[in-house]
Amino acid sequence: MHPDNLFIPPRRLTREERRQQTDAALRQAAVREFATCGVAGTSAERIAEAAGFTRGAFYANYENKQALLLDLIREKFTAEIKNWLELAESAIGLEDLLVILNDRTRLFDPDGVWPLIAAEINLYAQRDAEFAASYRQYHGQVLDGFERIITKLFWRGGKRPPLPVGELAEAMLTLYRSTRLPVEDTPESHPTFFSPELLIVILRGLIAVAPPADSERADSSGPTAEGEKGKRRAKKTD
C-alpha cells in the first residue's frame, strides 16, 4: 500500500487537554455574552449554551458567572498594565514611548468589547454588595498599576502631575469605560464611538501643559511605586 494512502488516526486528547479546550470555549463565549447582554442578562446556562456545552461543563470549571467575569477582566487588564509599566520603565524616549502606547491602545481591543465589559462590571459592583468586595480588590490592582504608569510618564517628561495621580488614574479608567458609549445615534446614521486612542491624546496633552517637576524629583533617578504610594498614604493620614 502506498504510504500516502495510510490513515493515521488523530491522537486522542487527554482529559486535561479536553478541559482546557472547554474552558477556552466558555471564556470566548462569556466575553461575547457579557459585552452583548450585560452581567445581569448573562447566566451560566447562557454562556454554556453559546459555547456549545451544557451547564454542567460551566460549573465544572467555575463557581458562578461572577467568578468567571472577574477572572476574565483580571487576566485581560493586569497583563496589559504589566506590559505598559515595563515600557514606561524602559530606556525608550518619551515621544517614542507614547507612540508605542498609542499603538498598543489601538490594538488592545479591536472589537471594542472590553470597555463595555468594564462598564458593566463596575455598575454591577455598585448594585451587588457581595460582588463589590471582590471587585474592589481587582480595581485596586488596576488603579495602582495606572498610577505607577502615569507617575513614570510625567517623570520621564520632567513634569509634575497637575492633579493627584490617583485622581488622574481613576479619571482615565472612567474615560476608558465610556469609549464605547455612542456619540451619535439617529435613524439617519449609525452610532459612532470614541477611539481608545483618546486616552493617549489626553495623557500627551496633560504632560505638555503640566508644571515642571520639583528639583528633588528632577535630581532623582525616578519615582518608585512604593515611594509614590507612601506619599499618598501620608496625605490621607494628615
Are 200 and 132 contained in the same domain? yes
Are 170 and 108 contained in the same domain? yes
On whether residue 228 sits in a domain, the answer given is: no
Handedness of CA 152, 157, 162, 168 (dihedral sign): negative
Angstrom distance (rounded) from CA 200 to CA 226: 25
Task: Name residues whose C-beta falls within 8 Å of residue 162's C-beta, 6 or more positions apart in sequence.
Answer: 206, 209, 210, 211
Are 49 and 153 contained in the same domain? no
DSSP 8-state secondary structure symbol assigned to residue 128:
-
pLDDT, tens digit only, all 238 positions of the chain: 555 566 666 778 787 888 889 999 999 999 999 999 999 999 999 999 999 999 999 999 999 999 999 999 999 999 999 999 999 999 899 999 999 999 998 888 888 899 999 999 999 999 999 999 999 999 999 999 999 999 999 999 999 999 999 999 999 999 888 877 665 555 555 555 667 788 899 999 999 999 998 755 444 455 554 445 545 544 443 4
Domain CATH code at residue 110: 1.10.357
On whether residue 225 sits in a domain, the answer given is: no
Of the residues 62, 82, 99, the one at which a domain ends:
62
Position 111 scores a pLDDT of 86
For 42, half-sphere exposure in the C-beta direction (CA atoms, 13 angstrom radius) is 26
Total number of domains in the chain: 2
Of the residues 35, 62, 89, the one at which a domain ends:
62
Are 85 and 152 contained in the same domain? yes
On whether residue 4 sits in a domain, the answer given is: no
Position 224 scores a pLDDT of 52
Helices (H), the chain: 15-37, 44-51, 55-59, 65-88, 94-108, 114-127, 129-156, 165-178, 198-209, 215-219, 225-237
Are 55 and 85 contained in the same domain? no
On whether residue 223 sits in a domain, the answer given is: no
Are 101 and 198 contained in the same domain? yes
On whether residue 115 sits in a domain, the answer given is: yes
Angstrom distance (rounded) from CA 51 to CA 26: 5
Position 180 scores a pLDDT of 73
Position 237 scores a pLDDT of 39
Are 100 and 152 contained in the same domain? yes
Are 203 and 159 contained in the same domain? yes
Position 14 scores a pLDDT of 83
Are 138 and 72 contained in the same domain? yes
Percentage, residues of the chain above pLDDT 90: 65
Position 177 scores a pLDDT of 87
Predicted TM-score (pTM) of this structure: 0.78
On whether residue 100 sits in a domain, the answer given is: yes
Are 55 and 77 contained in the same domain? no
Owner of C-alpha cell 493617549:
200
Are 95 and 202 contained in the same domain? yes
Position 5 scores a pLDDT of 62
**Grid coordinates standing for 134?**
471582590
Closest CA to 87 of 173, 170, 153, 175: 153
**Alpha-carbon distance values, 102 to 19, 74, 84, 217 (Å):** 36, 21, 11, 26
On whether residue 151 sits in a domain, the answer given is: yes
Question: How many CB atoms are located within 10 Å of the residue 67 CB?
Answer: 14
Domain CATH code at residue 34: 1.10.10
Position 12 scores a pLDDT of 80
On whether residue 133 sits in a domain, the answer given is: yes
Are 141 and 170 contained in the same domain? yes
The residues pairing with 184 across neighbouring beta strands, listed in sequence order, are: 192
* Burial of residue 79 (number of CB atoms within 10 Å: 0-12, 13-18, 19+): exposed
Residue-number span of the structural domain to which 128 is assigned: 65-182+193-212
Angstrom distance (rounded) from CA 139 to CA 205: 26
Question: How many CB atoms are located within 10 Å of the residue 86 CB?
Answer: 9
Position 236 scores a pLDDT of 45
